[in-house]
Amino acid sequence: MFNRRLGVSVAGAAGLIAAVAVAAPSQADTCAQSTTCPTSVSFTVTAEGGLSITVPGPTPAVNLGSGNSGGLISGQLGAITVNDQRAALTATWVASVSAAAGGFTTGGGTAPETISNADVSYWSGPATATSTTGGTFVPGQVNAAAAETLAAQRTAFSKTSGSGDNFATWNPTLVIDVPDAAVAGTYTGTVNHSVA
């Protein structure tokens, strides 16, 4: 009888010692009175997401309005936003713009039914909104005088310095220099944006 009770008491004590051992910190530091006793602390900051770009569309198509052969048609595409959630030390990026091969066409897309990308100009204008975190946001084309044709890929916007999460929004303008030989019709084409 005595042995059985002793066995229970020893087992209970062993469990208590094990619980205390688990709860104790892996290391301990003891410091003398009136001295600084340090504890190292660590934590991890994770990136919320990646680098992305948001554009209008693709449907319905953005309507730039109308104009005559030999004239200009101009209109804004709508808000383009780059969202950088990489939490990077060097949070720089470049947004590019181009037009799909084949230009803008109507009807059967014959030569008189095509307006080439060289007749289509793009200018970003300044940012309409940016994050308040530090960094430099640079328009690809700050105003109409700086517009560039979409005969080649262009820089639409960029961020050239800064760190951490950030975003920028702009509302670019397209200008169509309608050739004299262009026939009447509704022309459609594709403007592509990307960010890296």
Token couple for 163: 């760190």
> pLDDT tens across 52-63, in order?
999 998 888 999
In which band, very low, low, confident or very high, does the pLDDT at 22 lie, cut at 50, 70 and 90? Answer: low
> pLDDT tens across 90-146, in order?
999 999 999 999 999 999 999 999 999 999 999 999 999 999 877 999 999 999 999
Angle at 119 between CA 114 and CA 125, to 5 degrees: 135
Cβ within 8 Å of residue 177, ≥6 positions away: 72, 119, 120, 121
Q: Are 135 and 162 in contact (CB under 8 A)?
A: yes
Domains and CATH numbers, the chain: 51-195 (2.60.40)
Q: Are 156 and 96 in contact (CB under 8 A)?
A: yes
Q: In this predicted model, which residue has the larger pLDDT, 23 or 181? A: 181
Q: Is the pLDDT of residue 161 over 70?
A: yes
Instruction: Pick the closest to residue 62 from 195, 153, 179, 173 (CA basis).
Output: 173
> pLDDT tens across 168-194, in order?
999 999 999 999 999 999 999 999 999
Q: Is the pLDDT of residue 24 over 80?
A: no
**Residue type present at position 108:** G
Give the Cα separation of 56 and 191 in Å (integer). 10
**Could you tell me the pTM of the whole model?**
0.81
Torsion sign across C-alpha atoms 124, 77, 129, 87: negative
